[in-house]
Amino acid sequence: MTEVVGWVSSFILVLTLAKQVYKQWHEDSSEGVSKWLFIGQMTASLGFTIYSWLVNNWVFVATNSLMLLNGLAGLAIVIHHRRRQERTSSQ
């Protein structure tokens, strides 16, 4: 039962943050979203992934690995939107 609670919680967390990144992509806007949010998230997720691997906690290895990928996607979208905005405003 302990593992089930961990995996369900992991699923909810990853789904929640993935929905935010999807919203940025789908709405084609990252207005009000700081790139530092994703940089901080990725740094923490990398650290937690390593820690979780070292203590053999596979729920958190999986969760934080997915969070790292989610952070990369979010950061890529923010950078894409900012570059497009800079090109548009300089024309």
| Mean pLDDT computed over every residue of the chain | 91
pLDDT of the residue at 54: 97
pLDDT of the residue at 65: 96
Give the distance from CA 45 to its chain's centroid.
9
70 vs 37, 42, 63, 87, CA distance in Å?
12, 8, 10, 26
pLDDT of the residue at 53: 96
Instruction: Please state the three-class secondary structure of 2-48 as a single string.
Output: HHHHHHHHHHHHHHHHHHHHHHHHHHCCCCCCCHHHHHHHHHHHHHH
pLDDT of the residue at 80: 94
Nearest to 46 by CA among 65, 71, 27, 62: 65
Percent of the chain with pLDDT over 70: 100
pLDDT of the residue at 89: 84
Mean pLDDT by 10 residues, the chain (91 residues): 87 90 90 90 94 95 94 94 88 72
